[in-house]
A = this chain, B = another copy of it.
């Protein structure tokens, strides 16, 4: 096993900084309440203090996590602005921009869910607003802070499988499963900016860009849709062409849930299973000419890592790698996939 994987949990960005920041959660929907809030309870550098929602029941749920709460007007008016140092925007995609603008006007650092907004024009405006206000902006690409993914990047950089020539992968998230019906915003073209590509395909795109450390030269794709998905892409199959590698990816809003990718190199392959589910331990299978090793249940816990990484950067002034421009790059690429489809 390569030395990159001997201590998967090690943080390669943590300078043991002093202090912590207080976070307002803007948009207390299912993901923020059910996944994020429980994940960030024991962060080292961050405490959630405020919850913003238009729904009374969501505000009540946030209050149970010990948060002060307000609605969107209260947030826009800065009612609780003295109670937070940074803002996490977790609303539907098309509503990110105004909340980012509010945070920037209040001088608060921002971490925004992906995609940065529903269109590249709006995402660009979000980036420029934060740059002009001098506030940090992070796009919430949690895979970039997944411990296993960071070790994997080291391993690839170190030539672990020779030169990387290709990626392949699929992320299928059955969006109508469980209690989520067809009225959700993810199936609304205007609110979401797209369907499976925007919501889950972006994981494959961004993770590949992160692991390769470069941007594609071109993208193309094919979309399919049916029934309740008619407004957005239910299935997308897309190709991402880098200077020396190609990614062949797919994403779906229906079907048996899967999330995995394979990295092909001149001297080996890496397969990552359970690749994108929140906080899930991942399974990694590495094959090279010399050896085969498997790591089970490594990585995951990436949401706590993500928010600590963000807070640590805010406290220390360190560069944020998945910054606003990283998010903007993806929104532009997603639009190019749709244009070709």
Contact = CB atoms under 8 A, between A and B. Distances in A.
Interface stretch (A23-31, A68-76, A244-252, A315-323): A244-252
B246 A256 contact: no
B256 A170 contact: no
Contacts of A230: none
Interface in A155-172: 161-162, 165-166, 168, 170, 172
Nearest to A163: B255
Given A250-B264, A252-B264, 4 more contacts: A168-B168, A220-B220, A222-B246, A235-B246
A219 B247 CA distance: 17
B256 A288 contact: yes
Given A239-B222, A264-B258, A252 B161 contact: no
A246 B267 contact: no
A11 interface: no
Interface string A256-294: 101000101111110000000000000000011100000
Q: Which of the four size classes fits the interface of chain A?
A: 20 to 34
Interface string A153-197: 000000001100110101010000000000000000000000000
Contact of A161 (B237, B256, B268): B256
14 contacts: A165-B254, A166-B170, A166-B250, A168-B250, A172-B264, A220-B220, A235-B246, A237-B239, A237-B248, A246-B250, A248-B248, A255-B264, A255-B265, A258-B269
A172 to B, nearest CB: 7
B170 A262 contact: yes
Nearest to A268: B256
Given A222-B241, A246-B235, A248-B168, A254 B266 contact: yes
The residue among A172, A256, A267 with the most chain B CB atoms within 10 A of its own CB is: A256
Interface in A75-116: none
Contacts of A266: 254-256
Interface in A198-239: 220, 222, 224, 235, 237, 239
